[in-house]
Structure 1
Amino acid sequence: MPKVIDHDQRRRDIIEVTRGLIIQGGIEAATMREIAAEAGFANGALKHYFPGKDDIIQGTYELSLAQMSEVVRLAVEGKRGLAALRGISEASLPLDAERTTAARVLLSFWERAASNEHLHEIYVDHLVIWRQALAQFIAEGRADGDILSKTPDEQLIQELVTMNVGATLMSVINPEQNTPALQQAQLDSFFERLGRP
């Protein structure tokens, strides 16, 4: 009787292996040959599960994004307005080892997405959803009277996105100058400004 292969599990295994390679050595370390070797496959066997490397990178990014989305979901659960805005902002920063690991994967994904239209579109779609959530929480904060700043909402959203993207990049490139304490202080300063008329 032929062995039954769980293709979905094999795909998950390949993605986990790729994630580990990216964390250890960046996207250059995640060659098809290295992915196959680490996953215990012959070099050409990956084609049975993914059409190409970009598909594996996409799957790896989606795994990290799903893990981060769960962190964010828990951070905003039962909250609205300013409390939800603070929750999503803190949850999105690389303030611990797990989120710093996700930042490494994200940085590799950005590198690949810069020259791949399909991967670029996936990231832009994520940005749209993220920005919509920030806009909703800012609107609620204004309606609740907790956000008094006259800074336009779109600018506040852009500041939060830029702060997060910068922190993500610096947590990988120069973690000594981007400590969790400094990230937290920057976030505190931003939120203090929101209450000013």
Structure 2
Amino acid sequence: MPLDEERLDEARVVMAFSQEAAHDPARAAHNNRYMHRWRDSVAGWVAEARTAGDVAGHVDLASWVDALLAFLLGTQITAVLDPANVTPAHLERQLTAQLVLVRVSAGATGGGQVT
């Protein structure tokens, strides 16, 4: 997430590259390889969180990981286009809202309740 100037610059590069990839099959293939690796990494972390009891059992991990990646890509775009309003604190609150959807509550057993 673009929470500081360095990562905001990275988001600008991602946006520019995405525009190029939309019109260049070679760049699109490179982008797809990167996105698949990113997805696999995030899916692994989320699976570890479920194993640790932090992610509710009813959550469809594959769909939620895809939704999380779409959210993260969106944070890059909104932070670049509207940095005065899309602040790091704003982005962190949005991420917390995403995580609440899948997090097991402190008192839950069996992975059923979310906070």
1:182 to 59, 74, 90: 90
Runs of 4+ in 1 over 4 A off after TM superposition: none
Paired residues in the alignment total 105
Q: C-alpha displacement at 1:149, in angstroms?
A: 5.1
Greater relative contact order, per chain length (Cα 8 Å cut-off, separation 6+): 2
The aligned counterpart of 1:79 is none
The correspondence of residues 1-197 of structure 1 with structure 2, limited to 5 A, is 93-148=1-56, 150-196=58-104, 197=113
Tell me the distance in 2 between the aligned counterparts of 1:176 and 1:166: 16
TM-score (norm 2): 0.84
Q: C-alpha displacement at 1:106, in angstroms?
A: 1.1
Tell me the distance in 1 between the aligned counterparts of 2:59 and 2:10: 31
Tell me the distance in 1 between the aligned counterparts of 2:48 and 2:32: 24
CA deviations on 1:4-47 (whole Å, 9 max, x unpaired) are xxxxxxxxxxxxxxxxxxxxxxxxxxxxxxxxxxxxxxxxxxxx
TM-score (norm 1): 0.51
Unpaired stretches in structure 2, ≥5 consecutive residues? 105-112
Tell me the distance in 1 between the aligned counterparts of 2:21 and 2:103: 37
* Higher relative helix content: 1
Percentage of identical aligned residues: 27
Tell me the distance in 2 between the aligned counterparts of 1:155 and 1:139: 13
Which has more radius of gyration? Answer: 1
